[in-house]
A and B are shown apart, each in its own frame.
Chain A
Amino acid sequence: MTFPVRIWRGDAGGRFERYEVPRHASQTVLDVVTHVQRHVDPSLAYRYACRVGMCGSCAMTVNGKARWTCRTHVDTVAAGGTLEIAPLNNLPIVRDLVVDMTPFFDKWTAAKGAFVPTATRRDDFARVEPASKERRAIDTTIECIGCGVCYASCDVVGWKPDYLGPAALNRAWTLVNDVRDGAGRSRLRAVAADGGCQACHTHQSCTERCPKHLTPTASIAGLKRRVAGALLKGDL
């Protein structure tokens, strides 16, 4: 028994091609893509690595929503009979299901999403209280693996090219709360610029779609509070 699948081929000027794929129990969307590449058309380009929901490499747009294809069962999304697989939105298409993640990570850098150390070899280990407000804020949202699903789901990213996006801002929030970090004002400035946290309109698409159930919306709200506070204290 087979079922029809539409898969995006080509670059942004490409189109959907239709394939008939054998139906199996417990089949995932990644299984479908892999079948096409191995048995139908070896020129199909796509990314995956762990195939068990840990690495985030297999993120694609499935029936209009960004998902990890290795963790998306065909039963769940194609009950209506149609399965449409496309590359992630909001990122330049390299070919078929592969997007260029460069802008995603460039914005991570632009948001100062990297830890800036302050300790020297002569200092003792930092003491970070696990139950502190800051550490608990980090805990809820540190597990981001940079899969790009939130960025691909964000309408503001689609409308405003300079918007840093949920992942970069979410990471910046974890660092703003890191008591060991030394970037302070420069990071707040990075996330307060025109394409920064203020551009978020709380659609919550990011939080809705994050496969790790993180809450970039809440992180961005936290950044808004910090930026406003710093501005009013003359610290921005």
Chain B
Amino acid sequence: MIEARGDAPIDAAAGARATRAAAWRFVLQRASAAVLAVCVVVHLASIIVAIRGGLSAEAIVARMHANPAWPAFYAVFVVAVAIHAPLGLRAIADEWLGLRGKVTDIALGLVALLLLAGGLYAVASLAG
């Protein structure tokens, strides 16, 4: 039967937890997608406005430096990416590479942490 397979939990409580975890992955993926849709548009619009406005790169960076809203915005952006990308990769690993289970999830968790660390380091560089 379908229920007990591989390392799938057999007891009801563990099963319910696993199900909620799967549902949370779905909700977080879609929520982070919506956040990214907004962030990406703002990010690209601001770059385009700045470039078309004739600002030099140093001037753009200086402006973002001066206004704390920018690092805050980019921090949100980075968190959304760190949630969205690994969850997308998880589906690809599962469906196209046949990689699923605890080890895969841990590896993807590491990817999330790396993206978070790398991204926040870049934001910190922006904030000076």
Decide if A and B touch, CB cutoff 8 A: yes
Contact B95 A236 (CB under 8 A): no
Is A156 touching B16 in the complex (CB atoms < 8 A)? no
Chain A interface: which of B19-27, B73-81, B114-122? B19-27
Q: Which of B19, B24, B95 contacts A189 (CB 8 A)?
A: B19
**Contact at A192–B19, with CB atoms within 8 Å?**
yes
B interface, how many residues as a size bin?
20 to 34
Verify A110–B19 contact, CB threshold 8 A: no
Q: Which residue of B lies closest to A198 (CB)?
A: B26
Q: Mark A181-210, 1 if CB is under 8 A from B, else 0.
A: 000000001001111101101000000000
If A107-B2, A162-B2 touch, does A192 touch B23 (CB 8 Å cutoff)?
yes
With a cutoff of 8 Å between Cβ atoms, the chain B residues found around residue A196 in the complex are 19, 22
Whether A189 contacts B94 by the Cβ 8 Å rule is: no
Q: Can you list 20 A-B contacts with CB-CB less than 8 angstroms, sorted by A residue number?
A: A107-B2, A109-B2, A110-B3, A160-B94, A162-B5, A189-B15, A189-B19, A193-B15, A193-B19, A194-B8, A194-B19, A194-B22, A196-B19, A198-B25, A198-B26, A199-B91, A201-B91, A228-B30, A231-B20, A236-B23
Point out residues on B near A: beta carbons under 8 Å. 1-3, 5, 8, 15-16, 18-20, 22-27, 30, 91, 94-96
A: which residues have CB within 8 A of B?
106-107, 109-110, 156, 159-160, 162, 164, 189, 192-196, 198-199, 201, 224, 227-228, 230-232, 236
**10 closest cross-chain pairs (CB), A and B:** A159-B95, A110-B2, A198-B26, A231-B23, A193-B19, A192-B23, A194-B22, A189-B19, A192-B19, A228-B27
